[in-house]
Structure 1
C-alpha cells in the first residue's frame, strides 16, 4: 500500500516482505522482478540495487502495540528494526545512503519502554547521519477509518533542507500531545537533530463509511436473523441505546462493530460494541485473538449484520476496486489490516518526500 500511495512518479528498486501470502498479492499487482520474499535479516548488499532516494520501512508493530506483550525493539518481531538499520548502514558505507528514510508504526512506539524505544530509533537515525522528525497521521482525515499511525521521517544531514517543510514548533494535527511528550522525553543530544515537519491539511473528507458498503458482497454473507439477535444480546445498555437511536432516526444507518472482552463485576464477558459515527473502527489483522470487524445496517425496525467484506476493507485503506485481493477472506483481511492507508502515503509524498528528494526524473524507492 505504500507503493500505491507513492504513485507513478516513483520507481521501485526493491520490495521485501517475509510473508509469502502478502508477497504473492504484491506480485499480482506490481510484478515480482524487484520483489524478495524473505526475512529482512537474510538480505545481502547485492540484493539492494542502485542508490535509492527513499527507503520506506513498516516494521512489525506487535511488540510496540499497546495491545501487545510489550517486548519493544528487543523482541523478535518489532526488533526487525535493527536489521533495517544495518542495511541502511551498508548502503551508507557503499556511498548509496538514501536521501530520505520513512518509518511507519503504531502510536505505542512513542511510549514503549517508557520512551526508551522511541529514543533508540532517533539515536540510530542520528548515528546513521540523519536529521529526523515525526508526524502522527490518522487515516480518518482521508478515508472513513479511525487509524492513527506514527510516521518518522529522516533526511540525510548533508542535504539542504527545503523551505517550508520544517518549522520551529509543533503543528496540529500532525504533532499531537503524545508526540510532543515523547520529544520532550528525548535527551538533549537527540533533540538537537529533531525537525518539526510541516504539511498542509488535506481537504475536508466527504466520504462516509456508508458510501463504501456493498449491498451484495462476494467475500461474505449477511447473517441470519438469529445471528443478528445473538449480536444484539451481547451489547451493553449503552450500545443497545445506540441501535435504538439509529432505528428512531428514520433513515438507513450503517455502523461498525467489534467484539471485545470486558470485565464486569469481576467477571470477563464478551461484548459487542457498535458505532454509528460514519467511521469504521481501525482494521486489525484477524490473528492473535483479535476479532474481525462487523457491520450493522439499521433501517427503521430492520436490523442486518455481517462480517465486513474484504473489498470494503480495501476501500477503507484507500485502494481502488481494481486492486487484486487474495481470494481467501482471512488472507485479504490480513493484507489490508496490516497495511498503511494509501492516501496517507500520498499526502506525505506530495508534501514532504517529493520536496526533500533532490529534483530529478524518476525518484527511486
Structure 2
C-alpha cells in the first residue's frame, strides 16, 4: 500500500508457482494472494501454462498476473468473458469460485491465443555423446528393469517392437505394491515422446533417468545437463555450471523460456504498450 501511496507501485506483478498453490490449504493460499493484489489496487487473473505446448516436457505452472487499475488500461482483446480451454484449467476455475466477492470483482480472465503445435519430441533433444554422464552398465540397466511393474515392463517391450529408436524417461517412486502390500521403490517409464517434469536434485530419485530402446538393445543413463537445459528451452550456447547437480538444479528450479516468452509477447508487452499509449495521450 505504501508504494501505491507514493505512486511507485509497479504497473504489472507476475507471480509463478506450482499448480498445487491453487488448492493448498483448501484454496486459502491462492485466495490470500488474490486478495492482497486486489486490496493493493490490482486487477488479477491467472493462467495455468504447461511447457509441453512448447518443449517436450510436461511442466504445468501457475502464473498470477496483476495489472494496476490506476495505470494499466485493459485492451478488450486481452480479456475474455470467461475461462478458456487452453490456459484456464478446471483447478483454476474451482479456485476462482472460492475467492471472496471483492477478489472476484477484481478478477480478469486473461485472453491468450492458442500456441502453435509443437514439432519437437523428446528424442530430438537427446545427445548422442552426452557430457558429464555415463551410460549405465548392462547390470545397472537390468537392475532398473527389475524395479519395473508388469505395466511398465510391457511399455519397454512395446518400445522394442516399435520399429524405431524409442527414448523413454524414468522416475523412481515409492509404491505400496510389493508382494505383501509393502512399500517398494519402482521405476516408472513413459514413452510418449515427452519428458517428465524436471525437479531439483534433492535426492537420487529426483534425477530423471532416460532409457534408449533400439530394437532389442536397451541402454539407460541419467539425463544430461544439456538435455535438461534443452527441455527448458535454453539454447545450446547457454553456459551451464560445470557441476552436474548445479546444472540440473538450474533447470529443475527454473521457468521454461518459451513459456515466459509467449506470456510476455501475448499479454505482458501489450499491457505495457497500453500504458505507454495512455501516457502519450495524457501528455499530448
The TM tier, using the shorter chain, reads over 0.9
The 1-side partners of 2:251 and 2:3 are apart by: 30
Structure 1's consecutive aligned runs of 4 or more residues displaced over 4 angstroms after TM superposition are none
SS of structure 2 residue aligned to 1:267: coil
In structure 2, which of residues 108, 114, 122 is the aligned counterpart of residue 201 of structure 1? 114
The 2-side partners of 1:184 and 1:358 are apart by: 31
Q: What is the CA-CA distance between 1:219 and the residue it aligns to? A: 1.6
SS of structure 2 residue aligned to 1:223: coil
Partner of 2:219: 304
Conserved? CA contact 1:136–1:175, under 8 Å: yes
Partner of 2:73: 160
Structure ID, larger Rg: 2
Change (3 A) 1:224 1:290: closer
Conserved? CA contact 1:284–1:290, under 8 Å: no
Partner of 1:243: 156
Partner of 1:178: 91
The 2-side partners of 1:331 and 1:197 are apart by: 35
Q: What is the CA-CA distance between 1:289 and the residue it aligns to? A: 6.8
In structure 1, which of residues 115, 138, 148 is the aligned counterpart of residue 60 of structure 2? 148
Partner of 1:116: 28
The 1-side partners of 2:58 and 2:263 are apart by: 18
In structure 2, which of residues 233, 248, 263 is the aligned counterpart of residue 333 of structure 1? 248
Aligned ranges for residues 273-292 of structure 1 at < 5 Å? 273-287=188-202, 290-292=205-207
Partner of 1:210: 123
Partner of 1:71: none
Q: What is the CA-CA distance between 1:165 and the residue it aligns to? A: 0.3
Partner of 2:280: none
Aligned ranges for residues 1-365 of structure 1 at < 5 Å? 89-158=1-70, 159-264=72-177, 265-287=180-202, 290-358=205-273, 360=276
Q: What is the CA-CA distance between 1:90 and the residue it aligns to? A: 4.9
The 2-side partners of 1:246 and 1:91 are apart by: 58
Instruction: Point out the more displaced range, 253-262 or 91-100.
Output: 91-100
Conserved? CA contact 2:171–2:205, under 8 Å: no
The 2-side partners of 1:184 and 1:293 are apart by: 36
The 1-side partners of 2:2 and 2:144 are apart by: 53
Q: Tell me the C-alpha RMSD between the 2 structures.
A: 1.4
Q: Which runs of 5+ in 1 are unaligned?
A: 1-88
The 1-side partners of 2:22 and 2:29 are apart by: 7
SS of structure 2 residue aligned to 1:229: helix
- TM (norm. structure 2) is 0.93
The 1-side partners of 2:203 and 2:37 are apart by: 31
Conserved? CA contact 1:311–1:321, under 8 Å: yes
Q: What is the CA-CA distance between 1:98 and the residue it aligns to? A: 1.0
Aligned length: 273
| Residue deviations 1:330-355 (CA, integer Å, cap 9, x gap) | 01101100011000001100000011
Q: Which runs of 5+ in 2 are unaligned?
A: 278-284
Q: What is the CA-CA distance between 1:250 and the residue it aligns to? A: 2.0
Conserved? CA contact 1:222–1:305, under 8 Å: yes
The 2-side partners of 1:330 and 1:227 are apart by: 21
Q: What is the CA-CA distance between 1:188 and the residue it aligns to? A: 1.4
Q: What is the CA-CA distance between 1:266 and the residue it aligns to? A: 2.9
